Structure 1
């Protein structure tokens, strides 16, 4: 290339991002290659008539070993002679585009992106349409930022680990404790991020265009961050195959198979002695071969270093560790171990260069699907820009997501509030460490600088409904000093109502920080009870910010505490969402996606015990609503409304006969009543599973207000089988009903998948006998029996 050509090429490249309205760089641009003195038509990797597989192979085959290795880290350096620029793989979009990671940043022109509620609160809506819509809005902003030169195209979200233990610090990032709900959230959010309209199905899934590339993480059995000195960099999760199949793998399987996610990230921990990023059974055999991933597998950042220095796995050298992970199926290293040591690993004969080629093929096919080489089909998304970031529509969607997820835990006929009339204004006391919350509302994996598009604080929004007296009572959520409590009580005197904003934040529960106890921190509970005992403070309404549950038994049962609201971490628009519910502009319908346990739960089993089922020998009570056999503060699925709903099962079969293949074998299972059956169960894998169980439910709004309602449908296995779940959620639906309205909902359940159990040998079985279907939770639930039988053809 002549000096003039080089200068022209640099000017052309820099001009791509010189304007706020610039469009992203496209690799296969004939003008660029012409400036380099190359005819693009001679390069198969830019031939759009060839498959992505062929194009990726041609590109990789043109690289030297050193050039290949330099592309295997999250900060790929590119190959200048091939017009291949560097690429930053690591960006985050857990609940909005974040500047965590190297791939995305904000500037003076774009200072923030929309902050949606953290995942645990959005999940509480039990609204699959909402989850997908949020994904679409987030990916619009991501593409807009990419067009402006501020973001890449690959976002390592969502986090779909099951919240197995209430002490885990990352519950705010996850969709809760039920693996089915987690999987449905993953599927919908990923589809919202990735899908390009008109290209939902393609003959070759590896050619399906992507809007952005999502990543389901952290694979797998990852939910200990730092508990009593035991951290994720050293933890060995001892997990049975039964629990792996039933709980820890299911959401990832759904994310890959149903969500068609572009990548999966392996976790820091070991599972039964093997680091997940070096386990070929988990990566190559499960994710890629059994589930047929159309994409790449990435390491959590510095996982190979953790494998060497944290786990000291096999006392590997860096070269040996790199060889193991490459052979196990790890394509991309978030870190520098691949780029620093992979060349030596090949030269020492520890791994074939072919393994590196395979990884690069997977990576470049994803980038081609994202339009990095050719642009998106029909120029889709090129029109997105500054006006699509922090748009009024997205801010309203953020507020609505918070409204839909917020859970009403207690209400002594106090809410919604209606005070004053005409020009007369009520007086409200607004107290507590979260009363004027901003950054606390957006949780983690939001903006590192804490700048949001706009903050709607509880204090400001309540001020719109009356005169406000404000006193935090505590300087922070740890509330280590009670000196502010009497001041808050004095401030509340004469109020028509007192709002107490309490709970947790990232100083208590966060990545790398697990909880030790399930109580309010410091003096927070004393603040509430002192207010409750005080005269002339009006009804006490408590609003809790948290992800994990808190034992609030004292205030739950206190007669002077009139109402309790759980608001999760509601995002930057959380203040107006909370006010809308308090003052009746919105009827709450959220349901808890996790169990709230009593405080002594933490004394009954260590956080490091991975088993889900109760262990009578150790007095372990079990975990999650599926297996926990003790009392709760609030159960999974709990949530009140300002109106009432009733259910009627209009139709359900009493008998379902499953057709078995002529040579299909029966499977023996342990029956508690000692009865011997000719065919107690069959393997789901061996069955055609074509039988559909149709359940028709009528839901009626019998109260005095319009409102949404979440219908939860559980299956219950026959009672004579050892080790089965108490119940498990197999379907859910959120519906809106006006006063007196009746809606008929039809659920179509696959007989095998919705009524199966996981046996102690990890086989998925469909047992014969009397199953149950339960609609709803608690006293309002209705149920019916369905018998399953087999018939050989």
Structure 2
């Protein structure tokens, strides 16, 4: 038995033993990948549209399968997610490819198979869960972990070892197309949910991959891949914390770079990010994988490398281990060694990490075999998956406004349902769902799934006469279509106006990767439709199914109710209908604010005084219409008896902050209790308020819960004037809110002692305890 087959040894020891037997070319082979993707220059069926599913895919040259695998292979890219294949077909293809790699490899080393899996596995027939922005709206980490565990179990059953999820990007500009793939605009919320996803996926035996390290959503003007103008302090205090949480608390196994450059240095070639921060400071021991073609982008778009060998050397020296989705510049690494651009020791460093990962996954075990095509099919859209998807959709829908018209009760009234959402179920799904990512280019734009539409759910639930008319498409529409919908609404007792997004890629859609917008007006003629229906005088329920927040200030005061459903997935129609009719009491809260004005950008709630209301300084008011954390219910909640366990704490101490939450209404419900920190005086400019803790609390009607947060002094820390993380003595104010702008009177706590430099390994979370009714203190 070879020593690398010995499972009694630690994975790193096995990997080192194998590495010592490899030639330089074989080591390089472990850092590459292969994607059997459609080529733009190849003829396609007449009824199949070609569009890229990764940036500049058509512009990238490819290397043949035989040449790529000649000396071994690190990764197989998207066997299940490139085209519509059954489980059996995908397994057979995976087994064939793995077998050929092992046969070509002198020592029989298999490749890792990876797939996209943000909202479920991006493959034919797999459950499509709500988009990540909807995860944020649930404020329920344990539910995200449950979803990720189900995704991981399905991936493992297919023979896939690595998933390219989750995104831990913190939104800074709502115009950016990939807002839908994030969990929102607050680092603690994003980090909490992303870490829960990592635990769920890896608990099922599949390695998670954090994306995109780091700063991607802060690109100038919200344009995909645009440069990032951001100082080190904002990076440290806003963008990096979610990643640190997932590394330290989630023990994530892989990290993927951002495409962008920060102050002129592309992340893929930044040793400060990929080595100093990630490994030296945080202790990350996994693999860093490149976002698709990020290394050749050093030559093609960033223009800092004249050729592939130079690009490969820059990335490898920075700490990039594995090139995805296919071997490009890393194929020139042997040449780079010969030219003195990089040392073999650095190739050993990366190859050791790649082989250690394979040992951890069992791929170096002597008896390891890939899943074969004759294995019984796996139901990727099981009843258990659907149950999770439905609960997530239920908890993610946010009631933004309600004048009493909701919930709707069955009756004999006439209801008009207009707008583009009701007739296209693809609007319920994000851009990395298989129906939108791949199936949309096939004839008829089928989804490959059984998905109910609002046409199928609303009539039975509402009773009476329910009529439908689109009025317009997502980006188009005729005058005749508008006139028809307006006439239908004018003749109705109630109008439900459904507006929002259709996800796509690189401009083929209104939301998704490369689908950035100039302003936050509703897409196409949808705003015109809303305006004209409101003008009829018929009471309007405005239903938004979107991947980003849109400006609603033009319509909000005239709508009877506004409901936001952030791409709620395959169970979206049933979940929306249940909220509208009151079967489900809405409990979603905004993970991202809705602006009042179309051009009120960029900006999020994490703003200092001069980024907020500044009377006498600017005529522009950046305050949102519906703030971060906002959401209504069909019951009511009262926060009372806010106390702190002490009026002071040491710079290394902890204070407990408690509040009583009472359900003062007549229905059971769930309240999101949000703990905010205010730092009235600091040595650098600080946000006016910042979320430092939260809990989604289920409270029966008429009952109360006592919620206690344990806030460590580290949670008050920030990057000081000397660019070191500090806890600063002085007053802090802690308040409980229904949103970032609806907070109760704060309690004041004095931090005592000397200014403390916070070392690595700081406290990153705020534990919370919820007492049972018998122990709860009513306010």
TM-score by length of 2: 0.80
Aligned mate of 1:155, from 151, 160, 163: 163
Aligned mate of 1:294, from 285, 307, 310: 285
Asked if the contact 1:407–1:567 (Cα under 8 Å) also holds between the matched residues in 2, the reply is yes
Give, in whole Å, the separation in 2 of the partners of 1:612 and 1:763.
20
Matches within 5 A, 1:732-743: 732-743=694-705
C-alpha spacing 1:463/1:87, structure 2 compared with 1 (3 Å): farther
Give, in whole Å, the separation in 2 of the partners of 1:182 and 1:437.
29
C-alpha spacing 1:657/1:122, structure 2 compared with 1 (3 Å): closer
Of 346-355 and 573-582, more deviation after overlay is shown by 346-355
Asked if the contact 1:587–1:707 (Cα under 8 Å) also holds between the matched residues in 2, the reply is yes
Tell me the equivalent position of 2:295.
304
Matches within 5 A, 1:505-544: 505-506=502-503, 507-534=509-536, 537=538, 539-544=539-544
The structural deviation recorded for 1:639 is 0.6
Tell me the equivalent position of 1:180.
188
The structural deviation recorded for 1:771 is 1.2
Residue 648, structure 1, aligned to residue 648, structure 2: no
Give, in whole Å, the separation in 2 of the partners of 1:348 and 1:779.
62
Residue 97, structure 1, aligned to residue 121, structure 2: yes
Give, in whole Å, the separation in 1 of the partners of 2:640 and 2:612.
37
Tell me the equivalent position of 2:498.
501
Unpaired runs of 5+ in structure 1? 1-40, 100-110, 147-151, 197-210, 623-627, 660-688
Unpaired runs of 5+ in structure 2? 35-71, 74-100, 441-446, 504-508, 615-619, 757-779
Tell me the equivalent position of 1:240.
231
Matches within 5 A, 1:737-752: 737-750=699-712, 752=713
Give, in whole Å, the separation in 2 of the partners of 1:519 and 1:266.
31
Give, in whole Å, the separation in 1 of the partners of 2:340 and 2:400.
61
Give, in whole Å, the separation in 2 of the partners of 1:767 and 1:277.
34
Tell me the equivalent position of 1:167.
175
Asked if the contact 1:145–1:385 (Cα under 8 Å) also holds between the matched residues in 2, the reply is no
Q: Render the CA deviation track for 1:186-206: whole Å, top value 9, x for unaligned.
A: 11110010025xxxxxxxxxx
Of 267-276 and 777-786, more deviation after overlay is shown by 777-786
Q: CA RMSD in A?
A: 2.9
Residue 705, structure 1, aligned to residue 672, structure 2: no
Give, in whole Å, the separation in 1 of the partners of 2:419 and 2:270.
48
Residue 718, structure 1, aligned to residue 715, structure 2: no
Asked if the contact 1:408–1:639 (Cα under 8 Å) also holds between the matched residues in 2, the reply is yes
Give, in whole Å, the separation in 2 of the partners of 1:351 and 1:589.
54
C-alpha spacing 1:319/1:594, structure 2 compared with 1 (3 Å): same
Q: Render the CA deviation track for 1:737-769: whole Å, top value 9, x for unaligned.
A: 11101011121111x222223324332222222
The structural deviation recorded for 1:513 is 2.2
Of 357-366 and 782-791, more deviation after overlay is shown by 782-791
Residue 473, structure 1, aligned to residue 470, structure 2: yes
The secondary structure found in structure 1 opposite 2:473 is coil
Tell me the equivalent position of 2:216.
222
Aligned mate of 2:427, from 416, 440, 449: 440
The secondary structure found in structure 2 opposite 1:548 is coil
Matches within 5 A, 1:247-258: 247-258=238-249
Tell me the equivalent position of 1:363.
354
C-alpha spacing 1:179/1:278, structure 2 compared with 1 (3 Å): same
Residue 48, structure 1, aligned to residue 7, structure 2: yes
Tell me the equivalent position of 1:324.
314
Of 516-525 and 569-578, more deviation after overlay is shown by 516-525
Give, in whole Å, the separation in 1 of the partners of 2:293 and 2:613.
36
How many residue pairs get aligned? The number is: 666
Matches within 5 A, 1:535-554: 537=538, 539-554=539-554
The secondary structure found in structure 2 opposite 1:214 is strand
Asked if the contact 1:481–1:522 (Cα under 8 Å) also holds between the matched residues in 2, the reply is no
The secondary structure found in structure 2 opposite 1:599 is coil
Give, in whole Å, the separation in 1 of the partners of 2:625 and 2:398.
14
Tell me the equivalent position of 2:131.
118
Give, in whole Å, the separation in 1 of the partners of 2:432 and 2:532.
35
Matches within 5 A, 1:562-601: 562-599=560-597, 601=599
The secondary structure found in structure 2 opposite 1:56 is helix
Give, in whole Å, the separation in 2 of the partners of 1:782 and 1:159.
35
Aligned mate of 1:458, from 436, 454, 458: 454
The structural deviation recorded for 1:629 is 7.2
The structural deviation recorded for 1:483 is 2.7
The secondary structure found in structure 2 opposite 1:710 is strand
The secondary structure found in structure 2 opposite 1:170 is helix
Q: Render the CA deviation track for 1:566-599: whole Å, top value 9, x for unaligned.
A: 0011111100000010011111011111122233
The secondary structure found in structure 1 opposite 2:300 is helix
Asked if the contact 2:731–2:750 (Cα under 8 Å) also holds between the matched residues in 1, the reply is yes
Tell me the equivalent position of 1:59.
18
Give, in whole Å, the separation in 1 of the partners of 2:477 and 2:379.
43
The secondary structure found in structure 2 opposite 1:367 is helix
The structural deviation recorded for 1:414 is 0.9
The structural deviation recorded for 1:774 is 0.8
Asked if the contact 1:518–1:598 (Cα under 8 Å) also holds between the matched residues in 2, the reply is no
C-alpha spacing 1:461/1:374, structure 2 compared with 1 (3 Å): farther
Aligned mate of 2:401, from 410, 413, 417: 410
Aligned mate of 1:762, from 686, 700, 723: 723
Of 131-140 and 357-366, more deviation after overlay is shown by 357-366
Of 288-297 and 519-528, more deviation after overlay is shown by 519-528
Asked if the contact 2:682–2:728 (Cα under 8 Å) also holds between the matched residues in 1, the reply is no
The structural deviation recorded for 1:352 is 1.7
The secondary structure found in structure 2 opposite 1:254 is helix
Give, in whole Å, the separation in 1 of the partners of 2:726 and 2:635.
40
Q: Render the CA deviation track for 1:168-187: whole Å, top value 9, x for unaligned.
A: 11000001110111111111
Asked if the contact 1:462–1:468 (Cα under 8 Å) also holds between the matched residues in 2, the reply is no
Give, in whole Å, the separation in 2 of the partners of 1:93 and 1:112.
13
Give, in whole Å, the separation in 2 of the partners of 1:216 and 1:462.
39
Asked if the contact 2:613–2:623 (Cα under 8 Å) also holds between the matched residues in 1, the reply is no
C-alpha spacing 1:792/1:130, structure 2 compared with 1 (3 Å): closer
The structural deviation recorded for 1:613 is 5.4
The structural deviation recorded for 1:244 is 1.0
The secondary structure found in structure 1 opposite 2:487 is helix
Asked if the contact 2:732–2:749 (Cα under 8 Å) also holds between the matched residues in 1, the reply is yes
Give, in whole Å, the separation in 1 of the partners of 2:19 and 2:109.
14
The structural deviation recorded for 1:780 is 5.9
Matches within 5 A, 1:325-364: 325-334=315-324, 335-364=326-355
C-alpha spacing 1:408/1:90, structure 2 compared with 1 (3 Å): same
Tell me the equivalent position of 1:38.
none
Q: Render the CA deviation track for 1:483-532: whole Å, top value 9, x for unaligned.
A: 31220122335544321110222322221121101111233223223223
C-alpha spacing 1:639/1:567, structure 2 compared with 1 (3 Å): same
Aligned mate of 1:189, from 194, 197, 208: 197
Q: Render the CA deviation track for 1:113-148: whole Å, top value 9, x for unaligned.
A: 1100000011111011111111111111111222xx
Give, in whole Å, the separation in 1 of the partners of 2:526 and 2:598.
19
The structural deviation recorded for 1:349 is 2.3
The secondary structure found in structure 2 opposite 1:544 is strand
Asked if the contact 1:297–1:332 (Cα under 8 Å) also holds between the matched residues in 2, the reply is yes
Aligned mate of 2:744, from 781, 785, 791: 781
The structural deviation recorded for 1:97 is 0.5
Asked if the contact 1:431–1:500 (Cα under 8 Å) also holds between the matched residues in 2, the reply is yes
The secondary structure found in structure 2 opposite 1:550 is coil
Tell me the equivalent position of 1:5.
none
